[in-house]
Homo-oligomer: A and B are copies of this chain.
Amino acid sequence: MLKQLLFLFWLAFSAITLAEPRATGDLGLIIERESGSALIVNTTEHKQLARIENLGDTSHASVVFSRDQRYAYLFARDGGLSKIDLLQDRLVKRIVQAGNSIGGAISQDGRIVAVSNYTPGGVKLFSADTLEPIADIPAEYGASQRSKVIGLADAPGQRFIFSLFDAGEIWLADVSDHQKPSLEKFKNIGKQPYDGLITPEGRYYVAGLFGEPGMSVLDLWHTEAGAKHILPNYIKEDEKLPVFKMPHLEGWAMAGDYVFLPAIGKHEVLVIDSRTWQLVKAIPVLGQPVFVRARPDARQVWLNFAFPDNHQLQIIDVKDLAVSNTLEPGKGVLHLEFSPRGEQVWVALRDDNQVVVYDSYHLKELARIPAKKPNGIFFSARAHQIGL
């Protein structure tokens, strides 16, 4: 008995002294689309730390992080909102908060998680701590109709901004008073905004339009001027190809003063000057671009493609505004994510059941990490960025 106790004591003591504490600056989450699961990974050692299960329908999912980078909040297609503990490798809580959701955001102070929903259309706010509901913003317009909400992002000054697909409106919600968000609405911003981004410093909100050519831009330093319609003539209807996959949330990149975005239904990446919001160039690429991401040093932009070109990646040299490289990393390239200083890029290969890690300067393969049908990669450094 004494011996056994001593052994137990030794065991417990070892656990204290041996358990290597985990820092959270180099962690990430890889979403597995068909199994409702996600991998916690370490980007310094290129390895899987844990698999978290029971996350619902992850066929379309996005992630934000708490300001201490301990928790990841995952927004799933089925309206599920999950809180994952990256230090203890566990699902802390999961709620199903709506019937069909598409994205989410976390407030500047880290206390509120917002989810944008298709059904019922609107935005819901939750406590980042407990996931208890705080407030509801139904996307009502016209005669009590409700609109799908898309392009939700956090904005500086404890605000959220989002677009109403059916209504053609942009709403800006100030949630400084948690229980009573105050709303500012911008109407007639264009037909069917299908996605939105906020520029990295949080000044401009840009909504892509599906129902008509062009985009809508709102300058948050001059909201009194309203939203401005830009590039109204950049594409004629008859030039459009059938759209195989809609360009995605976050599928836009800024490098320096230039915004790079996938042209809908065309084999082009559009380059727009963010000072004037004029088109600088349409860069021909090999297929219909989906995600367009800037390397953090702004020198390169990487992009993937819709079917049937989804086994390839292209790299644009920002200096020349032209494609400099084409890679074939594997089958079903669905997403890519740069490490915060840009030395690595991780690429999700759904149909190869793996994620490949490149040295983004020498295009050298550093590792391949097994993952079940991966479709999204999110690194914890997003915690510190406005709009991510």
Residues on A facing B (Cβ under 8 Å): 1-2, 5-6, 8-9, 12-13, 15-16, 19, 21-26, 42-44, 65-70, 86-88, 108-110, 156-158, 201-203, 221, 255-257, 275, 296-299, 319, 339-343, 361, 380-381, 383-386
Q: State the 5 A-B residue pairs at the shortest beta-carbon distance, nearest first.
A: A25-B69, A340-B384, A23-B70, A156-B297, A12-B12
Which residues of chain B are within 8 angstroms of A13 by Cβ–Cβ distance? 12
Distance A297 CA – B6 CA, assembled complex (angstroms): 57
| Interface of chain A, main secondary structure | loop
Q: Are B299 and A67 in contact (CB under 8 A)?
A: no
Smallest Cβ-Cβ distance to A85: which chain B residue: B21
Which residues of chain B are within 8 angstroms of A380 by Cβ–Cβ distance? 25
Q: Are B384 and A203 in contact (CB under 8 A)?
A: no
Copies of this subunit: 2
Q: Are B24 and A343 in contact (CB under 8 A)?
A: no
Smallest Cβ-Cβ distance to A25: which chain B residue: B69
Smallest Cβ-Cβ distance to A387: which chain B residue: B341
A201: contacting residue among B44, B157, B297, CB under 8 A: B297
Distance A158 CA – B9 CA, assembled complex (angstroms): 47
A21: contacting residue among B22, B255, B361, B385, CB under 8 A: B22
Q: How far is the CB of A383 from chain B (nearest CB, A)?
A: 5
- Given the known interface contacts A5-B5, A9-B12, A24-B23, the answer about A343 and B109 at a Cβ–Cβ threshold of 8 Å is yes
